[in-house]
Structure 1
């Protein structure tokens, strides 16, 4: 079995990241993000939400509960309005797809590292045990 340096593994990680950054799902995400950034309606609503969030922090700090409730309700209303826009829905769906893909890659790497450790110690991959358990007496 070949031995690799940490630097070589990091280089491979960069190569994988470059490949992943150029897959269809990521391209779609970038296109949708550009559409979001170009939409004056969406950007205006986001600015309003950010301003209202700052107000909410101030109202909370000064114990102005009624004002806080009104501001939070307005934030919720604006967020729902944004969420109903088709490109926003597509963008959120795209985020889920990408997150699932990243999780799949992460889990695959972790599983394969574990399996390789088990194989390299003459363990049992199906049982998930390294070979270090072999030769131990069971009393």
Structure 2
């Protein structure tokens, strides 16, 4: 007969798995890309400008000035395009995609394994 495992033991193993993921090559690449983004004065200036303009939109919308809000939305689009075209930002975005894929594939592997085990147990 198979030994049952407690919820606490499962969570402990999940934390071990999380530590392994955080120590992965993908996580290291992501951290390095994030550091570069944080140290880039140009990138940080663009992010601040976008955030400032987003606040301006909220203010103009609250005042009922939709035309000014639309104009600022266009300015944000220009800033966002400039930000998205910076190689450093594209690298960071790719690292986010890679980390997300690793997490999603890990979740999928756990789900599939659990489902298969439940099927096996049910068929006994």
The higher radius of gyration belongs to 1
Q: Same fold (TM over 0.5)?
A: yes
- Cα deviation code 1:57-85 (max 9, x no counterpart): 11112211111111101111111101111
The 1-side partners of 2:62 and 2:111 are apart by 44
- Cα deviation code 1:28-77 (max 9, x no counterpart): 00000000000011101111111100010111122111111111011111
Normalising by structure 2, report the TM-score.
0.96
Which residue of 1 is the match for residue 79 of structure 2? 78
How many pairs align?
A: 123
Which residue of 2 is the match for residue 2 of structure 1? 3
Runs of 4+ deviating beyond 2 Å: none
Which residue of 2 is the match for residue 127 of structure 1? none
Which residue of 1 is the match for residue 42 of structure 2? 41
Structure number with the higher helix fraction is 2
Aligned ranges for residues 1-139 of structure 1 at < 5 Å?
1-122=2-123
Runs of 5+ unmatched residues, structure 1: 123-130, 132-139
Runs of 5+ unmatched residues, structure 2: none
